[in-house]
Structure 1
Amino acid sequence: MSERLKALADAGVSIWLDDLSRERIETGNLAELVKQSSVVGVTTNPTIFAAALADGERYDQQVAELVADGADVDHTIFKLTTTDVRDACDVLLDAYKASDGVDGRVSIEVPPGLAFDTEGTSAAAKLLWAEVDRPNLLIKIPGTSEGLPAITATVAEGISVNVTLIFGLHRYDQVMDAYLDGLEKARENGHDLSTIHSVASFFVSRVDTEVDKRLDALIEAGGDAATLGSLKGKAAVANARLAYQAFERAFGGERFAALQQAGARPQRPLWASTGVKNPDYSDTLYVSDLVVAGTVNTMPEKTMKAFADHGEVKGDQVTTQYDDARHVMDQLAAAGIDYDDVIATLEKEGVEKFVASWDELVETVKGQMGGAKRQADGQ
């Protein structure tokens, strides 16, 4: 077992793998990561599924069967992805039971084209929940303004949710409110609140990418290179730390206390996009600097391996750093970085990237279906 990853888990950080493929499941690789690398969850997205489908032949039989049944591309994607997620849920079932349902979770995303469609998102969430039919599933819903009421409606149905694409503190407050609204409605609907779980995926590395780009532009325009340069690589961690402070406020208050008495669980912060984009930064930056109990860190395998090799756990790196985090954000504002514009840009780009990833998945599956049809015609 990786001692460094175990130390991270012992510090209260749930390690989730940001990847899934049928090969990982069928070869036992996922089970091995659970056993040896303290992995207790999995997150997926259309890009991950497109890569899995493009790289292996393990989907060929199911694709051929679906083509023979006359399935269109959307139904084929639905069946392929829900099969993998259901099987991954089964691999992680022991972790789910051992953690009283907190971990052992696998996430699947509603189609990104629904990011601005409240009713469509709610309907898609119900379909995915019913199809996978596993208690340790999480339905990923984007935290857009249109996604917020869908989060509430989905939680109100007793469905567990992973809210994704959260970049800013104001939106995060709205996401937590939407979850609490959903819990209150679920209670009214007679659901057992203890069975409803949620995480809020707060994106990290992309914040540094966008802010650093703006700092470089200010330097090129004649700004103080030393001062501006010293702020590079600091925005993302500071932003995430302040998000955790917001989490403490929301789930330490009277509103949640009343729900908690009825069995409700807090919506845990999940650090997403934790692979480092800038090679000048430590490849474990967004893991080591965001260690705090009660969080999830979903990592690409590359980041997980890097942490297993040389990552360090130095205790709580979040609640002890609130003043520093606020100081960093104040310095960025004084330097001319418009936080609200950064967040608006990232959310817009985030949705666009999700849609592009879905289009990539559609094209990949179309190619697989075309191959299956040609093979069937040849026979």
Structure 2
Amino acid sequence: MNNALKALSEAGVSVWLDDISRERLRTGNLAELMSTHNVVGVTSNPTIFDKALAEGDAYDEQVHDLAVRGVSVDEAVRLLTAYDIRWAADTLRPVYDSTDRVDGRVSLEVDPRLARETERTVAEAKALWWLVDRPNLMIKIPATAEGLPAITRVLGMGISVNVTLIFSLERYRQVMDAYLEGMELARTNGHDLSRIQSVASFFVSRVDSEVDKRLKAIGTDEAKALVGTAAVANARLAYQAYEEVFSSKEWEALAARGAAPQRPLWASTGVKDPAFEDTRYVTELVARNTVNTMPQATLDATADHGEITGNTVLGTYQAAQADFAALENAGVNLTEVFALLEEEGVTKFVDSWESLLKGLSAKLDALS
């Protein structure tokens, strides 16, 4: 096992792979990464599936069978992705069992076109939970205004949820409120709270990309000095909010009934700016009871030269607040930034989903 990733795990960070493909599964690569890179979970999204389907022939046999059956492209994409998710869930099942259901998780996203529709999101989440039929599944629901009540209701059904596309502290607090309400609803509905897990996926690198673009456009020395500060400060303040909420009396009452905290998950951890250290969104966000979901390149970089020096979040909150104040003073409207990133995030996943449908439609025609 790699020493840096082992140290990261020992510091309380669960290493999840932000990628899945039929090829990775059938070659045993995921199982290998579990052994060599301490990977204990997998996340997926429409962009990942679009890329996987476009490469190689791993899906051709199943696509041919679906074409012969004459299924719709929408049904076909769900059957294909559910197959991969089940396979990954079975591969990770030993981790799920050995960690008392905390890790060994695999995430599957609802159709991103439903991001602004509460009722359809709930119905889709129920359908995916039934289709995959694995206890270590997590259903990904975006943290839009319409997604929040869906998160509560889906948790209330005893379904584990990965809340995705969180950018702002304000929205993150709403997500945690939705989680508490959902767990209380699950208790009322008679579910075993210890079997329900949730993570809150707080996006990191995209914040720096947008804020830094604005700082460079402002162009002052003060603005330039703040390049690369926004994302880490934002995530660290999110962890401060997590500590506050999950030490409250409201939480303690649920914990006494077996509920687990909703862990912060650092998403979008691949560095976009080549001027930055390629492991910065790993090494600067080390804190207990968190998840870092990494694309393969970031996982490899961390294994190769990541320096894990212990917790790098505790004790940083005052400095992070100062960074936020400096950004606002420099002329960056963070509220506007976070609203834009959420809208762009939804749009990008919808575009990937539609690209996936288009590519699959062509494969269905070719293999029919």
What is the TM-score normalised by the length of structure 2? 0.99
**Alignment correspondent of 2:344:** 349
Report 1:112-123 matches (<5 A): 112-123=112-123
* Per-residue deviation, 1:269: 0.1
**Alignment correspondent of 1:335:** 330
**Structure 1 position 364 matched with structure 2 position 320:** no
**Alignment correspondent of 2:296:** 301
* Per-residue deviation, 1:217: 1.2
Structure 2 CA distance, aligned partners of 1:200 and 1:178?
Answer: 11
- Per-residue displacement from partner, 1:189-244 (whole Å, max 9, x unpaired)? 0000000000000000000001001101111xxxx2x2111100010000000000
Structure 2 CA distance, aligned partners of 1:117 and 1:198?
Answer: 21
* Per-residue deviation, 1:66: 1.0
* Per-residue deviation, 1:309: 0.6
The one of 317, 320, 326 equivalent to 2:321 is 326
SS of 2:277's partner is coil
**Alignment correspondent of 1:255:** 250
Letter of the 1:101 partner, please give it: R
Letter of the 2:86 partner, please give it: R
**Structure 1 position 198 matched with structure 2 position 193:** no
* Per-residue deviation, 1:266: 0.5
Structure 2 CA distance, aligned partners of 1:110 and 1:264?
Answer: 24
Seq. identity, %: 58
Alignment RMSD, CA only? 0.6
**Structure 1 position 265 matched with structure 2 position 260:** yes
The one of 306, 309, 312 equivalent to 2:307 is 312
Report 1:29-44 matches (<5 A): 29-44=29-44
What is the TM-score normalised by the length of structure 1? 0.96
**Alignment correspondent of 1:230:** 225
- Per-residue displacement from partner, 1:260-319 (whole Å, max 9, x unpaired)? 111111000000000000000000010000001100000000000001010011111112
Structure 1 CA distance, aligned partners of 2:347 and 2:92?
Answer: 31
* Per-residue deviation, 1:364: 1.4
* Per-residue deviation, 1:320: 1.7
**Alignment correspondent of 1:284:** 279
Structure 2 CA distance, aligned partners of 1:128 and 1:119?
Answer: 14
- Per-residue displacement from partner, 1:312-362 (whole Å, max 9, x unpaired)? 111111122111111100110111111100101101111111111101111
Structure 1 CA distance, aligned partners of 2:4 and 2:100?
Answer: 24
**Alignment correspondent of 1:24:** 24
* Per-residue deviation, 1:28: 0.5
Structure 1 CA distance, aligned partners of 2:10 and 2:286?
Answer: 11
Structure 2 CA distance, aligned partners of 1:363 and 1:104?
Answer: 32
Structure 1 CA distance, aligned partners of 2:5 and 2:258?
Answer: 31
* Per-residue deviation, 1:112: 0.2
**Structure 1 position 133 matched with structure 2 position 128:** no
**Alignment correspondent of 1:8:** 8
Letter of the 2:249 partner, please give it: E
Structure 1 CA distance, aligned partners of 2:117 and 2:2?
Answer: 43
Structure 2 CA distance, aligned partners of 1:69 and 1:180?
Answer: 44
Structure 1 CA distance, aligned partners of 2:189 and 2:303?
Answer: 44
Structure 1 CA distance, aligned partners of 2:209 and 2:146?
Answer: 26
Structure 2 CA distance, aligned partners of 1:290 and 1:190?
Answer: 36
- Mean Cα deviation higher: 108-117 or 356-365: 356-365
Letter of the 2:32 partner, please give it: E
Unaligned stretches of 5+ in structure 1? 374-379
* Per-residue deviation, 1:369: 0.5
Number of equivalences: 368
**Alignment correspondent of 1:68:** 68
Structure 2 CA distance, aligned partners of 1:360 and 1:139?
Answer: 21
SS of 1:276's partner is coil
**Alignment correspondent of 1:85:** 85
**Alignment correspondent of 1:186:** 186
Letter of the 1:106 partner, please give it: V
**Alignment correspondent of 2:143:** 143
Letter of the 1:357 partner, please give it: S
Structure 2 CA distance, aligned partners of 1:127 and 1:358?
Answer: 18
* Per-residue deviation, 1:51: 1.1
- Per-residue displacement from partner, 1:86-145 (whole Å, max 9, x unpaired)? 000000001111111110000000000000000000000000001100010000000000
SS of 1:279's partner is coil
**Alignment correspondent of 1:58:** 58
* Per-residue deviation, 1:80: 0.1
Structure 2 CA distance, aligned partners of 1:74 and 1:343?
Answer: 31
Structure 1 CA distance, aligned partners of 2:283 and 2:322?
Answer: 20
Structure 1 CA distance, aligned partners of 2:99 and 2:320?
Answer: 31
* Per-residue deviation, 1:56: 1.9
- Per-residue displacement from partner, 1:45-81 (whole Å, max 9, x unpaired)? 1111111111121111111111111100000000000
Would you identify which runs of 4 or more consecutive aligned residues in structure 1 move more than 6 Å? none
